[in-house]
Structure 1
Amino acid sequence: MSLSVIVPVHKVQGYIRQCLDSILDPDIPNLEVIAVDDHSPDGCGEILDEFAERDPRVRVRHLEENVGLGHARNIGLDMATGDYVWFFDSDDHATEGAVRAIYDRLAETRPDVLVFDYARSYWNGKVKRSIINHLFREPPAPDVFTLEERPSVLEMMMTAWNKAIRREFLLDLGLRFSGGYYEDVNVTYPILMAAERLSLLDRVCYIYRQRRHGAITKTTGAKHFDAFAQYDRIFEFMDGMGPAADPFRNLMFDRTIWHLLVIIEREDRVHESEKPRFFAEMSATYNRHEPEGHVPPEPEDKPYLADKHRAIKANDYKGFLRVRATESRVKTTKRRTRKVGRLGKRGVRASKELAKDRYYQMQRKLPIDENLAVFAAYWYRGYACNPAAIYEKVRELAPHITPVWVVKPGARSTMPDGVEYVVAGSADYYRTLARAKYFVNNVNFPDFYVKRPGQVHLMTQHGTPLKKMGLDQMEYPVGANDMDFKALIQRSDRWDFLVSSNPLSTEAWQRGFPCGYEMLEIGYPRNDRLVTAGHDAEQRARLRDEVGVPDGATAILYAPTHRDYQRRYSPMFDIGRVVEQLGDDHVLLLRAHYYYKIKNMAADMGWPEGRVIDVSRHPSVEDLMIASDVLLTDYSSVMFDYANLDKPIVIYANDWETYRLTRGVNFDLMATPPGVVATTEDELVEAFVSRAAWSDAAAKDRADFQARFCPWDDGHAAERAVRRMFLGEKIPNPPR
């Protein structure tokens, strides 16, 4: 027995790896995965080819034009060779052990159609089993049956992805998925009626991802009218069955009207102006297909359903609206009756804070300054990172823009000469937030900030996400640290543009921040300088002198990441001992993570004077990268930036497993390191003393790493950002 899983793929690069990994059970040899790249404009095609290269069970078909989900499924069906086919949506995934359970159930029962259960996975982390899961058990089902023997199967989810179908059975019926919306109903209902052998698997095998954005059927528009043609096809199929379809006509008719009611009653489907026309089509469908002797259903949990049926049959849209209004009033009254709340005492805000709030509200009523731009970085810590690189390019390419930075009071002294700024909390600060047109930040602005219509936000982020970020952190409570994910997503909903530094980042950002922004796959603006001037000998000499690197010394930039499982910064190795073993010709530039409040650790710890230089407060990490000879880090995103310099990188990974399990990671750094990996102090010293970090093998690893993670860093990322956001140009992304 063999199984073909057909996966149409389009614009899901953030999810496709999880999807395929969940399907490719290594213990099932008679499995093939047919991935149909439906001319996806993102990195899906490359990801599919990666899987096909390492697993011969994966077959990829790249389409030259986008044909849509239904036709892509048909193409996959024509390619399939398995005894059974399973149509799988590429942003969903199977539960652990599900493929084996389905495979075993198929081998055991040999049905025409196997139906299994699913759960919905919501963006906020909640997972809920289907509300019809009782139909798998009540009453107990035999191993194999027909629809006439168990008509409740028709009430199960009408999608293709919760069914495994005998391929020859499907081909003999001549059924094909159609184009447009609801493309599977004209296949999934008929196969249940035609099957001589049905079987159930009372197990959650499939996780349906309820995405915040991107679900086609949750997009408002005229495409929802496609549903009428799809259901016409089902009744045409039943007419072809003759009397054999009579036992299902009433139930199928009620399911049809139920679905059409879902479409017209949801706010995110049909435009309000189109609802009268949609209702008229419903009425025509009702009168065209209503079975003889049909009685409108009156279930206890839906007391107004029969009234809706009667209004639809009579094409009485006003009457339908009256029924809905009555239903809504009753539901509202019940909710108010159930809601028992207590009004807590509201603390009186300090008069100063209240005055600021009122001032901010007043300023939001004034016109937006079309040429005013706000820049910020690292929670107002100062002038840095991608926003600084974009700021400099704005002054060059868009001189009509007035850029203003926001900084904390303590950061004022660090601001470069000539850079205009406002201090967080001041009246100028609130006025600038209220009136500016453009906003550029590498973190989110505060929750109190209200984005006005017409304001434009660019989120740059501040590193390639080796670690899990955003909603992906929900599975890692140590890393999440009681994060309010709802508030996080509300802040992220303010973004209009999100910068991606490489394909890995694009995948991670789409999963972690499923919002409505435009992804700018342009490389990292802060790396422009590394690419264009990183090997300037004169600049490098000046920076080494400023930092205090002795002539002829090998300068090691040590930049470790933050560890969520630690309360305070604690070096992962004995810095003093390692430096002593390296010898007088090595200098360690210690760059502690900005989360830690450190004044001068080198002096506090008594490390060799002049051999360990604390550069934690140096204003520019780019300066430090250029000044150094080699990078020593663990899991910090600085490695992705440093790779652009093509200088040696050493990874000290003494706690990789702990970090991976507590924080979560997006790829296995140990499998694709940018250079030498050390896990003990002795190995760390050896990497430098033996010059292994400068070896040909290390250079090869670094080149592979750079090709994978720095493909768009060409020195023009900031220019692309400015042209897209401030000048409104449709700039092409760098080639993949």
Structure 2
Amino acid sequence: MDSILSQSFEDFEIVAIDDHSPDACGRILDEYAALDSRVIPVHLEENQGIGKARDAGALKSRGEYILFLDSDDTLSDGALQAIADRLEATGDPDILLLNHVRTYWNNRVQASAAGELLASAGTDVFTALERPDFLTMFAVVWNRAYRREFYVGNNFIFTDGIYEDALMVYKTMLTAETIAATDHVCVEYRQRRQGNSMRTPGRKHFGIFQQYARLFEFLDQHPETEPVRALLFERAASHYLFTLAREDRIVPKDRAEFFKLAAASYKRYKPKGFVLPEGSQGVRFQLLERGSYTAYAAVTAAGNTRRQVIQRATKVKTKLGKTAYNRLYRLHLRRPVDENLAVYAAYWNRGVACNPAAIYHKAKELAPNVHGVWIVRRDMVDNVPAGVDYVVANSPRYWEVMARAKYLVNNVNFPNNIVKRPEQVFLQTHHGTPLKQMGIDQQKYPAAAKNMSFAKMLERADKWDLSLTSNQHSTENWERVYPCAFEAIEFGYPRNDVFFRTDGDDVLRIRRELGIEDGKKAILYCPTVRDYQKGYVPRIDLERFCSELGPDFVVLVRTHYFYGADPRLEALQERGLIKDVSTYPVVEDLCLAADALITDYSSIMFDYACLDRPIVTYADDWEVYRKARGVYFDILSGQPGETPGATATDEDQLIEVFRSGAWNGSKAAELRAAFRERFVQFDDGNAAERVVRRLFLGQRETTPAVLPLDDRTPAPAPGTLAQARIPRQPTGEHGLIDA
């Protein structure tokens, strides 16, 4: 959508079809329509497939030309202007053929095979019979623009099933009286790692024979097309063989049947005098005509043996890894999966924490038959709470539980050498809402991408079955930056349940445990890690900051967990200027104790927003950070839904934010409300229960339902509690109250 709406040529409409999508597509289209009148959303009442969705869009269209664009592809910059210019130069032909490139997740771009052919046409106008070589172009409808009167006037409609593009392409090309071409790259054809319906094996691929039967029926009805029958027959036979050879289309048990049907189609539609292509393809054509699958399989196997041996050896080595390639782990992998065993881990085995911890505790309540075991580092064993079963990473029992657990729950990834068995279910809980760019988006930012193998990262993400999110922003970004086959579950973050289930007494208790004096305003300062810096670098002169704020404030400082203890913070704490809570085990307690949050780009802002308390953004290195790390939106923009409250870009501004009261003013409250509406979508105090019911109890329905934002009651702010506990003052000599 963005690639269309950002085009320099602006005279267009987008008929956007929601084919009864089960995800957020319908909402996204409506949001775009609300912002731009050129977007016309159409919501179908039932899923009908891409062909019928295109038909609905074509009938709804009003423009002079129709372009079809699949939902996972994009228009290149300047595409519409280039199309408009070429249409004008060629006298508005029935069809304008377009160039494209293939784009890959690792930013590789591959030119199309048709570039030279398209360039050779110049501004010529022709028919398919005059230039039959253009029938050899990639047979898809999105690499051409159709004149609407031509398309609708001839009543072109898509047929049911896949491989519908080929039939539509050949029928329209053979019907058009005027065809032109441009070699300008107009479409970026995205190559998805997974999830492409054409790369999902199944019986649906047998539909290819019906589509080509319809094509040959069309040719029979139009004898003037006889000169190109042999070419189209060769295209059909090649398409059969291509489909048969793909393991991600035809499964082994169906190959003999598919070959039999392909051979029957070959014999039925072979034109008289057909000349076989040269080389190995000609051999395969001969085998089709003979109808011998045994001979075909033998020829194919001989050609593939060496490649398959190399692939298998590489796969085994990658799958088991060096560490896991031991006798004990392989033994456990042959044992049955334990249906009542769950493995938990958080923050690279740092202990019982975050979303996995909240799920673990709720599972003990709702699914007590599922035994939970935590993976921890050896140096973190002393921090494991009493009564929690755990194993040390890489210990003998570790390999057993990793091999046999039915459920795997982690807020990061397990190591590369862990084998994800088909029977196992991996819930990726994540540990924050993304402001900074993540996944494959990091490829563009050297500071974030150093020493990172994105191929390995995606192999780890391939093991996810479920991806937990707390807002639509996260859902959309995780699905895009981790192009894998997981299912997103929009249940909220279980770790944030505590923000809606804590009362005033608990808030005061936590403050007492932290040593926060009654009546003081506690400011929680949580800066995030900088990829472009080494070690912890203070961004604030905390001694000056605390002095300027005065005795009514106390500052809790929590550095990122990537950093160790900092002697400068220890010295300030010893002088009573700050409280260093960097090693405090439960960050949610710190949030509950704080009257306000100061952060920069840390995802803690999205969690703290659950409490509806002031958030101050202090970003003194914004330009450097966004260029070095990349961000998804401008936290300093002041726009509703992007900025959570007051902002400062230098120390003087930050001090003034608190001196002036802007940190807790009406403008900050308005921004916070919009920020909460966007990002506190599914956090309502019941996220852990929804996860447990889905993961361990197999309940598909979202239970309990997510509460509307206005119906949620977060834990009371410390300031309101202090005010509520002020003793009632005497009412005067006669006990009268001034009203």
The TM-score with structure 2 as length reference comes to: 0.89
Between the aligned partners of 2:299 and 2:232, the Cα distance in structure 1 is 24
Task: Kindly indicate whether residue 101 of structure 2 is the aligned counterpart of residue 119 of structure 1.
Answer: yes
Question: Per the alignment, in what secondary structure is the counterpart of residue 254 of structure 2?
Answer: helix
Task: Kindly indicate whether residue 336 of structure 2 is the aligned counterpart of residue 370 of structure 1.
Answer: no
Between the aligned partners of 2:178 and 2:515, the Cα distance in structure 1 is 80
Between the aligned partners of 1:424 and 1:179, the Cα distance in structure 2 is 52
The aligned residue for residue 7 of structure 1 is none
Between the aligned partners of 1:369 and 1:319, the Cα distance in structure 2 is 45
Q: CA deviation at 1:612?
A: 1.5
Between the aligned partners of 1:365 and 1:357, the Cα distance in structure 2 is 13
1:424-435 equivalences under 5 Å are 424-435=393-404
Between the aligned partners of 1:309 and 1:108, the Cα distance in structure 2 is 42
The aligned residue for residue 283 of structure 1 is 263
628, 645, 650: which one aligns with 2:616: 650
Q: CA deviation at 1:26?
A: 5.1
Between the aligned partners of 1:706 and 1:526, the Cα distance in structure 2 is 17
Between the aligned partners of 1:639 and 1:584, the Cα distance in structure 2 is 25
The aligned residue for residue 628 of structure 1 is 594
Question: Per the alignment, in what secondary structure is the counterpart of residue 17 of structure 2?
Answer: strand
The aligned residue for residue 287 of structure 2 is 311
1:349-360 equivalences under 5 Å are 357-360=326-329
The aligned residue for residue 705 of structure 1 is 675
The aligned residue for residue 148 of structure 1 is 129
234, 245, 248: which one aligns with 1:265: 245
Task: Kindly indicate whether residue 658 of structure 2 is the aligned counterpart of residue 688 of structure 1.
Answer: yes
From the superposition, tell whether residues 660 and 99 of structure 1 become closer, same or farther in structure 2 (CA, over 3 Å). Answer: farther
Gaps of 5+ in 1: 1-19, 342-348
662, 680, 688: which one aligns with 2:628: 662
Q: Deviations over 1:137-186 (max 9, x none)?
A: 4x564432332332221111111111111111112222111221012222
Between the aligned partners of 1:600 and 1:370, the Cα distance in structure 2 is 48
Gaps of 5+ in 2: 315-320, 709-739
Using the TM superposition, name which of 537-546 and 606-615 deviates more. 606-615
The aligned residue for residue 507 of structure 1 is 476
Contact kept, 8 Å, 2:243 with 2:249, in 1: the verdict is yes
The aligned residue for residue 297 of structure 2 is 321
Task: Kindly indicate whether residue 530 of structure 2 is the aligned counterpart of residue 563 of structure 1.
Answer: yes
195, 200, 210: which one aligns with 2:181: 200
The aligned residue for residue 12 of structure 1 is none
The aligned residue for residue 613 of structure 1 is 579
From the superposition, tell whether residues 458 and 600 of structure 1 become closer, same or farther in structure 2 (CA, over 3 Å). Answer: farther
The aligned residue for residue 9 of structure 1 is none
Task: Kindly indicate whether residue 236 of structure 2 is the aligned counterpart of residue 250 of structure 1.
Answer: no
The aligned residue for residue 105 of structure 1 is 86
Q: CA deviation at 1:258?
A: 1.1
Which letter does structure 2 place at the counterpart of 1:676?
A
Question: Per the alignment, in what secondary structure is the counterpart of residue 545 of structure 1?
Answer: helix
Task: Kindly indicate whether residue 489 of structure 2 is the aligned counterpart of residue 520 of structure 1.
Answer: yes
Contact kept, 8 Å, 2:342 with 2:405, in 1: the verdict is yes
The aligned residue for residue 4 of structure 1 is none
Contact kept, 8 Å, 1:34 with 1:59, in 2: the verdict is yes
Which letter does structure 1 place at the counterpart of 2:239?
H
From the superposition, tell whether residues 107 and 680 of structure 1 become closer, same or farther in structure 2 (CA, over 3 Å). Answer: farther
1:181-220 equivalences under 5 Å are 181-220=162-201
Contact kept, 8 Å, 2:12 with 2:63, in 1: the verdict is yes
Which letter does structure 1 place at the counterpart of 2:517?
P
Contact kept, 8 Å, 1:472 with 1:511, in 2: the verdict is no
Between the aligned partners of 1:356 and 1:158, the Cα distance in structure 2 is 46
Q: CA deviation at 1:599?
A: 4.0
Contact kept, 8 Å, 1:573 with 1:681, in 2: the verdict is yes
365, 368, 378: which one aligns with 1:396: 365
Between the aligned partners of 1:169 and 1:323, the Cα distance in structure 2 is 46
73, 96, 105: which one aligns with 2:54: 73
Task: Kindly indicate whether residue 648 of structure 2 is the aligned counterpart of residue 678 of structure 1.
Answer: yes
The aligned residue for residue 727 of structure 1 is 697
Question: Per the alignment, in what secondary structure is the counterpart of residue 161 of structure 2?
Answer: coil
Q: CA deviation at 1:608?
A: 8.4
Between the aligned partners of 1:567 and 1:591, the Cα distance in structure 2 is 17
Contact kept, 8 Å, 2:543 with 2:577, in 1: the verdict is no
Task: Kindly indicate whether residue 375 of structure 2 is the aligned counterpart of residue 406 of structure 1.
Answer: yes
Contact kept, 8 Å, 1:600 with 1:614, in 2: the verdict is no
Between the aligned partners of 1:680 and 1:664, the Cα distance in structure 2 is 21
The aligned residue for residue 719 of structure 2 is none
The aligned residue for residue 345 of structure 1 is none
Contact kept, 8 Å, 2:7 with 2:77, in 1: the verdict is no
Contact kept, 8 Å, 2:466 with 2:488, in 1: the verdict is yes
The aligned residue for residue 276 of structure 2 is 296
The aligned residue for residue 547 of structure 2 is 580
The aligned residue for residue 24 of structure 2 is 43
Between the aligned partners of 1:355 and 1:565, the Cα distance in structure 2 is 34
Between the aligned partners of 1:356 and 1:294, the Cα distance in structure 2 is 55
Contact kept, 8 Å, 2:471 with 2:679, in 1: the verdict is yes
Identical amino acids, percent of aligned pairs: 47
Q: CA deviation at 1:461?
A: 0.7
From the superposition, tell whether residues 594 and 66 of structure 1 become closer, same or farther in structure 2 (CA, over 3 Å). Answer: same
Between the aligned partners of 1:26 and 1:258, the Cα distance in structure 2 is 37
The aligned residue for residue 17 of structure 1 is none
Question: Per the alignment, in what secondary structure is the counterpart of residue 60 of structure 1?
Answer: strand
Q: Deviations over 1:528-568 (max 9, x none)?
A: 111221xx221111111222222211111111111211122
Which letter does structure 1 place at the counterpart of 2:702?
P
The aligned residue for residue 227 of structure 1 is 208
Between the aligned partners of 2:515 and 2:206, the Cα distance in structure 1 is 71
Q: CA deviation at 1:717?
A: 0.9
Q: CA deviation at 1:355?
A: 11
Q: CA deviation at 1:450?
A: 2.1
Which letter does structure 2 place at the counterpart of 1:272?
P
Between the aligned partners of 2:34 and 2:465, the Cα distance in structure 1 is 36
From the superposition, tell whether residues 417 and 673 of structure 1 become closer, same or farther in structure 2 (CA, over 3 Å). Answer: same
Which letter does structure 2 place at the counterpart of 1:703?
A
1:5-84 equivalences under 5 Å are 20-25=1-6, 27-84=8-65
Q: CA deviation at 1:495?
A: 1.9
From the superposition, tell whether residues 660 and 102 of structure 1 become closer, same or farther in structure 2 (CA, over 3 Å). Answer: farther
Between the aligned partners of 2:58 and 2:232, the Cα distance in structure 1 is 26
Which letter does structure 2 place at the counterpart of 1:276?
A
Between the aligned partners of 2:680 and 2:133, the Cα distance in structure 1 is 54
The aligned residue for residue 180 of structure 1 is 161
Between the aligned partners of 2:387 and 2:612, the Cα distance in structure 1 is 33
The aligned residue for residue 392 of structure 2 is 423
The aligned residue for residue 520 of structure 2 is 553
Question: Per the alignment, in what secondary structure is the counterpart of residue 457 of structure 1?
Answer: strand
The aligned residue for residue 92 of structure 1 is 73
Q: CA deviation at 1:354?
A: 7.8
Between the aligned partners of 1:489 and 1:618, the Cα distance in structure 2 is 33
From the superposition, tell whether residues 728 and 204 of structure 1 become closer, same or farther in structure 2 (CA, over 3 Å). Answer: same
Between the aligned partners of 2:568 and 2:40, the Cα distance in structure 1 is 55
Count of matched residue pairs: 692
Between the aligned partners of 1:390 and 1:644, the Cα distance in structure 2 is 18
Which letter does structure 2 place at the counterpart of 1:679?
T
442, 452, 469: which one aligns with 2:421: 452
The aligned residue for residue 474 of structure 1 is 443
From the superposition, tell whether residues 176 and 561 of structure 1 become closer, same or farther in structure 2 (CA, over 3 Å). Answer: same
Contact kept, 8 Å, 1:601 with 1:614, in 2: the verdict is no
Contact kept, 8 Å, 1:587 with 1:610, in 2: the verdict is no
Q: CA deviation at 1:525?
A: 0.5
Q: CA deviation at 1:129?
A: 1.6
